[in-house]
Chains A and B, each alone.
Chain A
Amino acid sequence: MDNIIREKIKKVKKGDQSAFEDIVVLFQSKIYQHCYRMLGNAHEAEDVAQEAFIRAYVNIHSYDDSRKFSTWLYRIATNLSIDRLRKRKPDYFLDAEIKGTDGLDMYSQLATDARLPEEEVQGMELEKMIYQEIANLPPIYRSIITLRYLEEFSLKEISEIMDLPLGTVKTRIHRGREALRKKLRYV
């Protein structure tokens, strides 16, 4: 499989559009699904997934063949999804570190039990509720939890996709798990 992709990419770099079409067919569902999980609706997922493939094509010469193509493609799709989320609602400041707190950010300072979870649980489908809680996480946490538990990437792969040090990925996954635990313990 990796060899087939490598050959296709070589052709794309030489300007062969039909080789790129094969690449899109191979990855369309995975990338669309990832965007859908990041954005939570079909319209934006299609829009961002389309843009991800177009960017991949336009920037194909900056792709380094010694690395995994799928990781590179996921990186483009993840970054575009995060950009879209940040434009949608200004919650990204949660991810910003507070000065002088040694890595603590606003997110870890949130009062997690501020509302009555039992009330929200009622009348909501379980799956919808789980998605909603993942969606309430700041974009970086959302992408890491999605990549880890919905798409089952390893921590190392996530660090490559997100271009973050492994230690940072781990810290964020720990915080993300704790945040979701607090939200989902009443389910």
Chain B
Amino acid sequence: MDCKHEAIHLMHIYLDGDISKEDEKKLSQHLEQCPDCQKHFHELKRTITLIKSAAEPKEAPEGFTDRVMQNLPTEKKRVKYMR
């Protein structure tokens, strides 16, 4: 299997959850005999774990909704009435 094109492409398809049984078998067979691809695959999976670990939740600041409501354009009906 061509590492650069086929194997790495299959790794990404695997990571997207789109891989077929057949391709998954092909990939795992290749990984068993190719240390470079094994390393690449490990790095990709670790990258995802790292990105996910940075997902610290953020709450909207106090008064956020009030500020949105204050800045909404005036309702059309009222504009008409005032004219």
Contact = CB atoms under 8 A, between A and B. Distances in A.
Interface of A: 15, 17, 20-21, 24-25, 28-29, 31-33, 36-37, 42, 45-46, 49-50, 53-54, 57-58, 126-127, 130-131, 134, 145, 149-151, 155, 170, 173-174, 177-178, 180-181, 184-185, 187
A54 B51 contact: no
A50 B69 CA distance: 9
Interface string B31-67: 0000000001001101110111111111111001101
Given A17-B69, A150-B52, A177-B15, A42 B61 contact: yes
Given A130-B53, A177-B12, A185-B46, 17 more contacts: A15-B76, A15-B77, A20-B69, A20-B72, A28-B68, A29-B57, A33-B59, A46-B61, A57-B73, A127-B56, A150-B55, A155-B16, A170-B16, A174-B9, A177-B48, A184-B43, A184-B46
Given A21-B69, A32-B61, A36-B58, A127 B47 contact: no
A50 B67 contact: yes
Contacts of A46: 61, 64
Contact of A24 (B53, B59, B65): B65
Question: Shortest 6 CB-CB distances between A and B: which pairs?
Answer: A28-B60, A32-B60, A130-B54, A33-B58, A174-B12, A149-B51
Contacts of A184: 43, 46-47, 50
Contacts of A177: 12, 15, 44, 47-48
- What's the interface size class on B, roughly? 35 or more
B2 interface: no
Interface in B1-45: 8-9, 12, 15-16, 18, 40, 43-44
A75 B82 CA distance: 35
Contact of A21 (B47, B57, B60, B65): B65
